[in-house]
């Protein structure tokens, strides 16, 4: 039975590698969208077509922005975002794809996960490794352009293979 984002334990931000937050911010052209967090908090992705729901969501975004810091919103997002293969949250994704805890992820691994958030099926390292590698390198380049990592770190991360666990050992 697939996991639900509502059944996953929350991992505090201090237990997630800083590289993951930096990669997520670089992968998303804007900062974490409060609408995504609001949608996730209200009821997942099931009710997107309802106009009343959309208006409630819009009103709630302002309350969320007023009440929570960007770091708190990022923590919620990192614990609930879908990475494909029935993995929700960065802790589940780190264990699933790399066999690691989220605080042990390196720049290349964090960039791969961050790149997958846009389209988990299209950037799956198992089904489409070339697309996943291209997207990971785009995120690494965005991190470099934003000054989050040096050019040397970026070239080193881009040169590393995807490094995901074989599907049979997950």
Predicted confidence at residue 1, as pLDDT, reads: 41
Give the dihedral sign, CA 165/94/35/134: negative
**pLDDT value, residue 144:** 92
- Higher pLDDT pick, 168 / 20: 20
Asked whether 114 and 24 are in contact (CB, 8 A), the reply is yes
- List, for residues 67-104, the tens digit of each pLDDT value: 888 788 888 888 888 998 889 999 999 999 999 999 99
Parallel, antiparallel, or unpaired: how do β-strands 87-88 and 82-84 relate?
A: antiparallel
- Asked if 27 contacts 114 with a C-beta cutoff of 8 angstroms, the reply is yes
Select from 165, 161, 109 the least CA-distant residue to 139. 109
3-state secondary structure of 141: helix
- pLDDT exceeding 70 applies to what percent of the chain? 76
Domain chopping of the chain, boundaries: 13-160
Q: Which of 1-5, 37-41, 119-123, 164-168 has the lowest mean pLDDT?
A: 1-5
Give the homologous superfamily in CATH for domain 13-160.
Answer: Biosynthetic peptidoglycan transglycosylase-like (1.10.3810.10)
Is the pTM above the cut of 0.85? no
Instruction: Please answer whether residues 121 and 138 qualify as being in contact, where contact means their C-beta atoms are separated by less than 8 angstroms.
Output: no
Where does the pLDDT of residue 54 fall: very low under 50, low under 70, confident under 90, or very high at 90 and above? Answer: low
Please tell me which residue, 16 or 95, carries the higher pLDDT value. 95
Give the pLDDT confidence score for residue 18 in this predicted structure.
Answer: 84
Rounded mean pLDDT, 95-121: 92
pLDDT at 29 over 70: no
């Amino acid at each position: 039975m697939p996991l639900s984002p509502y059944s996953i334990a929350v991992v505090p931000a201090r237990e997630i590698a800083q590289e993951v937050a930096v990669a997520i911010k670089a992968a998303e052209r804007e900062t974490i969208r409060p609408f995504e967090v609001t949608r996730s908090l209200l009821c997942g992705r099931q009710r997107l077509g309802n106009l009343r729901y959309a208006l409630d969501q819009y009103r709630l975004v302002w309350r969320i922005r007023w009440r929570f810091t960007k770091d708190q919103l990022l923590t919620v997002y990192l614990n609930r975002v879908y990475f494909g293969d029935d993995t929700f949250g960065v802790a589940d994704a780190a264990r699933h794809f790399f066999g690691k805890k989220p605080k042990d992820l390196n720049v290349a691994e964090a960039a791969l996960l961050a790149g997958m958030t846009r389209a988990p099926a299209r950037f799956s390292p198992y089904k489409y490794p070339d697309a996943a590698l291209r997207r990971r390198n785009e995120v690494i380049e965005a991190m470099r352009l934003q000054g989050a990592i040096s050019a040397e770190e970026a070239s080193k991360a881009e040169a590393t293979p995807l490094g995901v666990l074989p599907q049979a050992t997950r």
